[in-house]
Structure 1
């Protein structure tokens, strides 16, 4: 049985997808577009993540115990970051990870909830067996399963690019100085919780390290990069909890 909360959750994802499509299309075509679409996209994200957080943690409570349970939750973190983006000057790239999450959630909702209402199931493969999902539903499920890990890798690399964007934006006064600090903390949490994020960090670090240490580069470049690596390592923490390091595919929205 599909509850009202489930419909509201799905509505948030469809709203995000519609607004993001409109916003990204205008951005790619270099056309001006109202920030309303950007905020509408993150409004959809806030709706969906609020439902998930409520179901996982219960009603918000003004006490330390609730805060300790909520703080490490991935969905709470994405909800908080979505609210930050919603209330800040638009950064178009920031909408992309949420759009990817919503695409997969919307496709799954379509397959499990919408399709059975309009597409009759196929006859049972054996006498007395259960009816089989419609062939389109099977194809959709196969596509989601085949592309999920790749999409999560795209999200992980995109989140690194968002940090670069807001870091440069802070230097050039295109966004607040607070943006890279908040997003750096968010990425630190993602590093601990997501194997895809650790993979993205490792690959990016390896490529930069290989470039910096190429023969013929000024020694000062290597010195600066080594100091940056040391600062990042001390800030992120040198020990990852075994449970976090062994985590599987992320659960979001």
Structure 2
């Protein structure tokens, strides 16, 4: 009886020693996970202002996103080099895009919609790495957390689409912020460059795909016989204007769209 209990006991307990080794071995990945969790907590504190000034938490989320992006850039491209090739590689990284994103809105009055892409990315990536940490602790540990993680992963495609839609919607919204006195005249122009970086991203086709889906929706709506002519003209103006501003896709991007 004593032998049986001694063999089954350790298998049911959590392997904290393995978790400790994992954290020491993967310091940056664990640091990214911790910052993402903090960003989620700061976001909750902003939306549910129980403690302190909610605007402080808003800017903490942006700073956390900047820290995440900087660490991811360090992982992706390593040491800084003062060459044209390095600059081109830097600007092509998604992490550089979202570092730029944080810098844009750090100098703009708080806009709740700005936090949406950051929160969704943090939830998606922290859930993925939480599963790795739970597996390190033990295969049967924290089944409730595993269930929540599986729900997030099941909705990953919808989460990425929601991020892409928010990125696009923020473009006209930044123009509206000028008239509301909450942004400078430069904000839409700077954000336009961010959006073009997202459109030409090598690793993330969701912004390009969302542009295409929105164009189909607008053209289909404009083609309806019951649609008033002024609405048709406005929808087609939006489509044509956006098409002119879009960069020419590379052959690799054209293959992804097909």
Return the TM-score normalized by structure 2: 0.76
Output the CA distance in 2 between the equivalents of 1:174 and 1:106: 32
Return the structure number with greater helix share: 2
**Equivalent residue for 1:14?**
37
SS in 1 for 2:200: helix
Question: RMSD value over aligned CA atoms?
Answer: 3.0
Unpaired runs of 5+ residues, structure 1, are 123-132, 249-253
Runs of 5+ consecutive residues of structure 2 not aligned to the other structure: 1-21
1:149-198 alpha-carbon deviations (Å, 9 max, x no partner) = 01111111122222232121123332112222222222222223343223
Structure 2 residue aligned with 1:197, among 207, 215, 219? 207
Q: How much does 1:20 deviate?
A: 0.9
Taking structure 1 as reference, are residues 172 and 142 closer, same or farther at Cα in structure 2, changes over 3 Å only? closer
Larger Rg: 2
Per-residue deviation, 1:40: 0.8
- 1:1-253 to structure 2, matched below 5 A, reads 1=22, 2-26=25-49, 33-114=53-134, 116-117=136-137, 120-122=138-140, 135-136=143-144, 139-140=147-148, 142-193=150-201, 194-212=204-222, 215=226, 217-218=228-229, 222-223=232-233, 225-237=235-247, 239-247=248-256
Cα 1:137/1:174, change in 2 over 3 Å: closer
Task: Tell me the CA shift for residue 19 of structure 1.
Answer: 0.7
Q: Which residue of 1 aligns with 2:9?
A: none
Q: TM-score, normalised by structure 1?
A: 0.77
Q: Is the 8 A contact 2:134 2:142 kept in 1?
A: no
Q: 1:73-132: per-residue Cα shift (whole Å, max 9, x none)?
A: 111111111122223322211111010010112112222125633xx335xxxxxxxxxx
CA–CA separation in structure 1 for the residues paired with 2:159 and 2:165:
10
1:140 Cα offset (Å): 4.8
Task: Tell whether the 8 Å contact from 1:12 to 1:46 is kept in structure 2 after alignment.
Answer: no
**Aligned length in residues:** 231
